[in-house]
A and B are shown apart, each in its own frame.
Chain A
Amino acid sequence: MFSIFRDLVRYNIEFAIGVVLVGSITLFSLLSFFSPVDPTMIYVAIPDRPPSFEHLFGTNSRGQDLFWQLTFAFRNTLYFGLTVAVLSRIISITVGLAAGYLGGWVDRVLMFFNDIFVAIPIFPILILFYFVMRSNLDMFTLALIMACFGWPFDARLIRSVALGLRNREFTRQAVFAGMSPLKIMREEHLPYVMPIIFSTAMANMIWSIGLEVTLAVLGFTNINIPTVGTALYWANSHSALVVGVWWWILIPVILIVLTFLGLFLLAISLNEYIDPRSRLRRMGV
């Protein structure tokens, strides 16, 4: 595991940049544990101050210190993305491996549902959920709903790998040795799909964080929880750009773009790692 990581950092500049970007954003969000201010309080600082030594990112029109506010926002956003990624990975691994290894009617039924979930546009469904639950829609429920829609594409990918593994020598050996299907999937096939799971997890985080930002900007989430999306929502609702509080929009946008860029670079470099052809080309063999 560690040697793979070292090779990736050494031979793949995209991966190294991605690690640095995501690592720094994570560190930034962890600073929220040392925050001297409560993110839910408003009018605790002088509003509309530009960035200075006292307030590193300035203060917003709601009288909050933007630096500490954004540490909380990024903690919640990253936590949200991670929750969706983990939950949807669990569904896609289960469905993908089961459909690929068991085949037959299990495969047909699972892929039937898979195709339905691929074709349903999630955005109207999310808005419906907001419409029904209003501010009762907390982060975890939202993550759970998104996870229910974030698995089908990756499940299909995992299934295609599992289909190939089913006819391999070691699978047959495991069957003859009396391993149960569950054990074969968990101990023999799961390690093979691990790289796919990591790379799709990054893509999934980009997707879910992007959706959360979008929903929040429209005001369709609980706007009292600090996230990157709600930070932009409040900035918009106070017309930050028109009144000249540009740092309120610019700083979160730069940080979220860096986050997305980092996750995206990690995803594509891991994708490249999975494909041995491009890996060899990269190493100059």
Chain B
Amino acid sequence: MRGYLRFALKRLLQLLAVVFAGISAAFFISHLSPISPVESIIGRVSGQSSYSPQAIQSLRDTLTELFGLSVPLHEQYFNFLGRFVRGDLGPSLIAFPTPAMQLVMLALPWTVGLMVVQIVIAWLVGNILGGLAGYYQNSRFLKAFGIVAIGIQPIPYYIVAFLMVIVFGFLWPVLPISGGFAMNVRPSFTPEFILSVLGHSILPASSLVIVGLGTWFLGMRALVSNIVTEDYVTYAELAGVRQQRIVFGYVIRNAMVPQLTALAMTLGAIFSGTIITEQVFAYPGLGSLLVRAVNGGDSAVVLAVSCIAIIAVATAIFLIDMIHPLLDPRVRAE
């Protein structure tokens, strides 16, 4: 138990370091921007009608104050860190004056939901099928599945999603292809709303699952086909241990550990994939918000989305790392 606590503490420090490095990088990249957020608001306001120069000047001063841009860069950085801890990243431009953080928090559950569903389905099913394929190497069905997986894996995320839009949007329109829920349903905890959300998530989620499943399947099959040659598997077979127990208790359990590490390692990439999927299916998550903010020149929202994404991915990796010792006694013993 003490070993586990020390392990947890070490990982927690690492998490803090990652978050700190990530949001610092995001801050400095975004503040080297040649597009001043103040000038772009003024450009938008004064484009609609004419104002006196004094009014524009006072607007400029107010906005500079509001965005905290009146002090040198290092002071802005410390102010940013202080405000970030309190969850305040300034007003957004695309939905002025709603706080950027509020927009992000509205979008976050959609992305997290999509990611959790796709990871749980793709990772579990992919690993179990891959494990079986590695153990029963002569199964026709699993062999065919492997060939399909190799064929699908190199196709870019975007193209799979796009093909699904074409198939289910134009050729065989049975599923909703855009939005998070139907237009005529009010967001609340009613069965109607929940069903609508689930229906709208089928296509985005399954496009992510199709791509993810093959990767896990192939990785697991390769791992298991090495494990089955180990002595302990041969002994278990000779000793007459039930085959089901060998497959799930010995072979797949041992191969699960590196696959869990791989999941933690690829979480960032899965997040990138989710952003594209949201864009293709017009799903109301972080990705759509980010694209909207970039096109609208909204640095506060871009920065907020990047920071929250960094924190979310790092936290998820931390949580996976925490499960790790429970699955693998060797890590616990270290």
Contact = CB atoms under 8 A, between A and B. Distances in A.
Interface stretch (A85-93, A95-103, A116-124, A179-187): A116-124
Interface residues of B, number: 49
Interface stretch (A37-45, A48-56, A168-176, A211-219): A211-219
Contacts of B22: 116, 119-120
Interface in B299-329: 299, 302-303, 305-306, 309-310, 313-314, 317
Given A116-B21, A253-B159, A277-B226, A124 B154 contact: no
Given A125-B29, A264-B150, A120 B294 contact: no
Contacts of A241: 166
B302 A127 contact: yes
A101 to B, nearest CB: 23
Interface stretch (A64-72, A128-136, A159-167): A128-136
A247 interface: no
A132 B271 CA distance: 22
Interface string B274-293: 01100100000000001100
Interface string B146-189: 00001101111111000000100000000000000000000000
B164 to A, nearest CB: 13
A261 interface: yes
At the interface, is chain A mostly helix, strand, loop or mixed?
helix
Nearest to B294: A131
Contacts of A232: 158
A257 B29 CA distance: 33
A277 B229 CA distance: 10
Contacts of A275: 226
B313 A119 contact: yes
B272 A125 contact: no
Interface residues of A, number: 42
Interface in A258-285: 260-261, 263-265, 268, 275, 277-278
B294 A213 contact: no
Contact of B306 (A127, A214, A217, A220): A127
Contact of B18 (A116, A153, A260): A116
A213 B155 CA distance: 11
Contacts of A264: 150, 153-154
A131 B268 contact: no
Contact of B290 (A116, A127, A207, A213): A127
B25 interface: yes
Contacts of A261: 151, 154
B17 interface: yes
Contacts of A153: 265
12 contacts: A121-B267, A121-B271, A122-B268, A123-B272, A124-B26, A127-B294, A127-B302, A153-B265, A214-B157, A218-B291, A241-B166, A257-B154
Interface of B: 14, 17-18, 21-22, 25-26, 29-30, 32-35, 150-151, 153-159, 166, 218, 225-226, 229, 265, 267-269, 271-272, 275-276, 279, 290-291, 294, 299, 302-303, 305-306, 309-310, 313-314, 317
Interface of A: 112, 115-116, 118-125, 127-132, 134, 153, 206-207, 210-211, 213-214, 217-218, 220, 232, 241, 253, 256-257, 260-261, 263-265, 268, 275, 277-278
Top 10 closest A-B pairs, CB basis? A260-B154, A123-B272, A121-B268, A124-B306, A132-B33, A119-B18, A264-B154, A128-B29, A261-B154, A121-B313
